[in-house]
Amino acid sequence: MTSPGVRAQRSGTLVDRALELLATGPVESLVLAHQVMGVPAATPPIADRLATALLGADPRVRRRGDARWELVRSAAGSPRLVDCTFAVVDVETTGSSPSRGDRVIEIAVATLSGGRVEMVMDTLVNPGRPIPRAVTGITRITHEDVADRSPFRDLAGEVVAALAGRVFVAHNMRFDWAFVSAEVGRALDVTLDGPRLCTVLLSRRLIAGLKSRGLDSVARYFGIEIEHRHRAGGDAMATAAILNRLIDLAGERGIDTLHELEDLTRRRKKRKQRKRRRALPVSMEEA
């Protein structure tokens, strides 16, 4: 079964213990911190932060109006697309590789649900390192713009909450996912996991004849105007609008569930891999 949304996992053992406790009924964050995470000195604010990091993005758990945590009923099979909420993400960064020390300087998360697009997070981030001139030239974000902004570690809980239980989507998804998961992992010592979609890959499968699948080209194809290009908020909103149109095209092909939409991009990848194998010399295939 495909998980219906992004989640953050600190430890399989801790999560399992928390689920066992929640099986007995709703539980407060303090109880989770004391009995599950072994932090008896945790104050209510610290307990809330620990519980959110452990369970806030787990689709099997939800937080009630009285702030207690409880289990939710699992959906049978893959959720239908009409029942999914998509978290459409865009980040601006100091460079192209989080593994080489590049950091996020701006992040936006827009949600798409039932055809409605809503911005839920859009903020500059202090990367704690200089912003290259080339990046400023593209994004118009300067060191002065971010100097008084919060570092990602102070925003990580808000980011996880914005992604929790939703399908992660981005244009060139691997790039944005790599940065967001690296930043969240560094800040909260958790690992993000869950379903992800790439609107570049979806556009390749659902739109014929485009020479480029860049954001500008796909937006132009659908007649979508991008406000504030190369800024996280503008690009996230445009990507969300594109996703909405791509889902409509998928529906015309009879695609109704999240698993079917994910499988559409997997089939493309498998075909490319087969083509590469056919092009390899026998000696390389056997190596």
pLDDT of residue 264: 87
Q: Is the pLDDT of residue 204 over 50?
A: yes
Structural domain contains residue 76: no
Both tokens assigned to 1:
């079964």
* Mean pLDDT (the chain, rounded): 87
pLDDT of residue 9: 56
Q: Which domain holds residue 106?
A: 81-271
How far apart CA 153 and CA 49 sit, in angstroms, is: 12
Identify whether residues 91 and 130 lie together within a single domain.
yes
CB 190 within 8 A of CB 8: yes
Three-state SS at 146: helix
CB 173 within 8 A of CB 198: yes
Identify whether residues 34 and 126 lie together within a single domain.
no
Identify whether residues 193 and 127 lie together within a single domain.
yes
Q: Is the pLDDT of residue 4 over 80?
A: no
In this predicted structure, which of 42-51, 86-95, 144-153 has the lowest mean pLDDT?
42-51
In this predicted structure, which of 83-92, 111-120, 182-191, 269-278 has the lowest mean pLDDT?
269-278
Identify whether residues 25 and 130 lie together within a single domain.
no
How far apart CA 270 and CA 247 sit, in angstroms, is: 22
| Residue range 217-271, pLDDT digits in tens | 999 999 999 999 999 999 999 999 999 999 999 999 999 899 899 988 876 454 5
Q: Is the pLDDT of residue 76 over 50?
A: no
Structural domain contains residue 2: no
**Looking at residue 132, what DSSP letter applies?**
P
CB 71 within 8 A of CB 250: no
Number of C-beta neighbours around residue 183 at 10 A: 25
8: pLDDT confidence band, cut at 50, 70 and 90? low
Structural domain contains residue 89: yes
Both tokens assigned to 129:
């390192």
Q: Is the pLDDT of residue 215 over 70?
A: yes
Identify whether residues 188 and 125 lie together within a single domain.
yes
pLDDT of residue 277: 47
Q: Is the pLDDT of residue 286 over 50?
A: no
pTM, 2 dp: 0.72
Question: What is the per-residue DSSP string for 88-127?
Answer: EEEEEESSS-GGGT--EEEEEEEEEETTEEEEEEEEE-B-
Q: Is the pLDDT of residue 10 over 80?
A: no
Structural domain count, the chain: 2
**What's the CATH code of the domain at 180?**
3.30.420.10
Identify whether residues 67 and 209 lie together within a single domain.
no
Identify whether residues 87 and 192 lie together within a single domain.
yes
Q: Which of 71, 89, 111 is the last residue of a domain?
A: 71
Identify whether residues 19 and 159 lie together within a single domain.
no
Residues facing residue 198 across a β-bridge = 170
Q: Is the pLDDT of residue 129 over 90?
A: yes
How far apart CA 53 and CA 184 sit, in angstroms, is: 10
pLDDT of residue 287: 33
CB 8 within 8 A of CB 57: yes
What would you measure as the largest C-alpha separation in the chain, in angstroms? Answer: 65
| Residue range 145-173, pLDDT digits in tens | 999 999 999 999 999 999 988 999 999 99
Structural domain contains residue 43: yes
2: pLDDT confidence band, cut at 50, 70 and 90? very low
The residue-averaged pLDDT of 2-18 equals 66
Identify whether residues 41 and 165 lie together within a single domain.
no
Strands 196-198 and 167-170: parallel
Structural domain contains residue 284: no
Identify whether residues 120 and 156 lie together within a single domain.
yes
Structural domain contains residue 285: no
pLDDT of residue 73: 55
CA-based end-to-end distance of the chain: 35
Identify whether residues 48 and 167 lie together within a single domain.
no
Query: What proportion of the chain, given as a percentage, has pLDDT over 70?
Result: 87
How far apart CA 96 and CA 287 sit, in angstroms, is: 32
Identify whether residues 98 and 232 lie together within a single domain.
yes
Q: Is the pLDDT of residue 11 over 70?
A: no
Structural domain contains residue 280: no
